[in-house]
Structure 1
Amino acid sequence: MRLENGTVKAEFLLLGFSDHPELQSLLLAVFFSIYSVTLMGNLGMILLITTSSHLHTPMYFFIGMLSFIDSCYSSVIAPKLLVDLISAEKTISYNGCAAQLYFFCSLVDTESFLLAAMAYDSLVEAICLLTVLLSYVCIIAAILRTGSAEARRKGFSTCASHLIVVTIYHGTLIFIYLRPSTDHSLDIDKVTSVFYTLIIPMLNPIIYSLRNKDVKNAFRKMIHQKLVS
């Protein structure tokens, strides 16, 4: 807290990476690059899904929503982080901190529910079942029970991207909250937080685009149309 114009102003001091001043410029360049790629990747995915009629399916609707959420919750953290790296006064107001925490937690919870919905949709699309349990174990078990090797390959191909995203997303959460207190390290917490808030939103559109023939074909078609026009 500090006194300003006769009133007490509550603020939090953001230490962040201030204990490594020699790395501030490098970190600024790295985080700015990551944030830029995150926005371009996710907004590009939204544009591609919106403009490509054959991507107007439930699964790509969910992927578009995932890209939108990733753009938002990365934007809740990254701009303030970048400002603090170049600012001498690394503080955040109480109201600002509360708002940041509210929006971040809300978006993370929304993404968790969205990933669960995508799991259900992936299972219905890949295995053609009418009713299933909303469980990632059931997805794998149902694929393994499929008769032919070709059907299993197609099922895993359909679900692989989603399972990779879920593993990275929830794996990071498990590491953060279930790590033994004896192994606690502030530096590891910082790196994990950066991975969770900046890296994962950047990886999601890359994973879904590189492993998805429909997305790659839609991208080539859009580029071809732009060049022709």
Structure 2
Amino acid sequence: MITTDKNQSASVIFILLGFSDYPDLKVPLFLLFLTIYMVTVMGNLGMIVIIRINPKLHTPMYFFLSHLSFVDFCYSTGVTPKLLENLVVEDRTISFEACLTQFFFTAGFVVIETFLLAVMAYDRFMAIYKPLLYTVSMSQKLCAFLVAAAYSWGILSSLIFTYTLIILSFCGTKVINNFLCEYTVILSASCSDKHFSEIIFFIVSNIDALCTLFVILTSYICIFVTIMKMHSGSGRRKAFSTCASHLTAVTIFYGTILFLYCVPNSKSSWLMVRVTSVFYPVVIPMLNPLIYSLRNKDVKETLKKLMNIEASTQ
């Protein structure tokens, strides 16, 4: 029985339609996504380098931010190259194994990012609630543990999701009205009973979402209460400014997810679904380093120094 399922799965071919029904937009979309990807790579890798070379940035907040940049880079790299390829080639097929591999990595990085955002919210709470004990409370060991926990749970969740797909049998050719391999699309191509897989996916994904949202909302409620108790107006503004970048990133990230799942499943909404799907794995990884760098004086100063050094060498 296992051999039969493997043979069936090996013969499965997915066709990623992407934006093929808009042939006139192929070249503009290719140039747009290529530009976005280049900015994403330079922005996230640049953020990691800046944090590493500037001793002022060797703090818990920037430690978490460097890992967020790494995850964004990997997440975008797992999706964008295939999107660019499908815009220039006629053969948009992808094998079952390649589709499953793309899903495994993208799902893992999504879960890791959600938990990193929750960890960063907790970090901002500790910085505002106990500023004098901040360096003691957020020790290097604790920061390393929190990051390791985020990666471990992300990998575990992705393994669980992927396993619930591998145990199914697949057959035939499946047309995907999108540009990436998503769980529901792969699941819909199955020829066997999907009830168990759907239940496991529902439970694990909701645990991931609810746990991270609980930490983020609780942290920001406590932050807001703490800021409101401050008597100094300048202290309030400074406290709000330290949270502004992270809160913006969280709002865009979860806002996009909520919007994507709230769009009705109809033919007229497919374009909106694809546009939102592009924004989620392609645009957000580009926005995060811009959001954190534009509102951060230390990052700006480091960038200016690097530019001055480069100019002097020339």
- Work out whether the TM-score is over 0.5: yes
1:139 counterpart (199, 204, 223) = 223
- Matched residue, 1:51: 53
**Once superposed, what is the RMSD of the aligned Cα atoms?**
2.0
1:153 counterpart (215, 221, 237) = 237
- Matched residue, 1:206: 290
Q: For residue 182 of structure 1, report the CA deviation from its aligned partner.
A: 7.1
Distance in 2 separating the partners of 1:206 and 1:10: 40
| Deviations 1:123-143, CA, capped at 9 Å, x for gaps | 212332679x75322222322
Q: SS in structure 1 opposite 2:94?
A: strand
Distance in 1 separating the partners of 2:89 and 2:51: 38
**Corresponding letter in the other structure for 1:187:** L
Distance in 1 separating the partners of 2:264 and 2:286: 28
Distance in 2 separating the partners of 1:99 and 1:182: 28
| Deviations 1:31-69, CA, capped at 9 Å, x for gaps | 101001100110111111111111111100111101100
Distance in 2 separating the partners of 1:147 and 1:84: 57
- Matched residue, 1:5: none
1:185 counterpart (256, 262, 269) = 269
What TM-score does the superposition give when structure 2 sets the normalisation length?
0.67
**Corresponding letter in the other structure for 2:60:** P
How do residues 11-50 of structure 1 correspond to structure 2 at under 5 angstroms?
Answer: 11-50=13-52
**Count of aligned positions:** 222
User: Contact (CA 8 Å) 2:227, 2:236: kept in 1 or not?
Assistant: yes
- Matched residue, 1:90: 92
- Matched residue, 2:160: none
Distance in 2 separating the partners of 1:44 and 1:216: 12
**Corresponding letter in the other structure for 1:146:** M
**Corresponding letter in the other structure for 2:247:** L
| Deviations 1:73-125, CA, capped at 9 Å, x for gaps | 00000000101111110111101111111110110000000011111111212
**Structure 1 residues without counterparts, runs of 5 or longer:** 1-7
- Matched residue, 1:224: 308
Q: For residue 166 of structure 1, report the CA deviation from its aligned partner.
A: 0.3
Distance in 2 separating the partners of 1:39 and 1:227: 22
**Corresponding letter in the other structure for 1:16:** G
**Corresponding letter in the other structure for 1:136:** Y
Distance in 1 separating the partners of 2:241 and 2:264: 35
User: Contact (CA 8 Å) 2:43, 2:289: kept in 1 or not?
Assistant: yes
- Matched residue, 1:4: none
Distance in 2 separating the partners of 1:147 and 1:25: 56
Distance in 2 separating the partners of 1:184 and 1:173: 19
User: Contact (CA 8 Å) 1:77, 1:197: kept in 2 or not?
Assistant: yes
Q: SS in structure 2 opposite 1:185?
A: helix
Q: For residue 224 of structure 1, report the CA deviation from its aligned partner.
A: 2.5
**Corresponding letter in the other structure for 2:273:** D
**Corresponding letter in the other structure for 1:210:** L
- Matched residue, 1:172: 256
Q: For residue 144 of structure 1, report the CA deviation from its aligned partner.
A: 2.1
Q: For residue 218 of structure 1, report the CA deviation from its aligned partner.
A: 1.5
2:83 counterpart (52, 61, 81) = 81
**Structure 2 residues without counterparts, runs of 5 or longer:** 1-9, 138-214
User: Contact (CA 8 Å) 2:40, 2:73: kept in 1 or not?
Assistant: yes
User: Contact (CA 8 Å) 2:78, 2:105: kept in 1 or not?
Assistant: yes
**Corresponding letter in the other structure for 2:64:** F
| Deviations 1:162-211, CA, capped at 9 Å, x for gaps | 00000000111111123455797100000000110111000000000000
What TM-score does the superposition give when structure 1 sets the normalisation length?
0.91
**Corresponding letter in the other structure for 1:166:** V
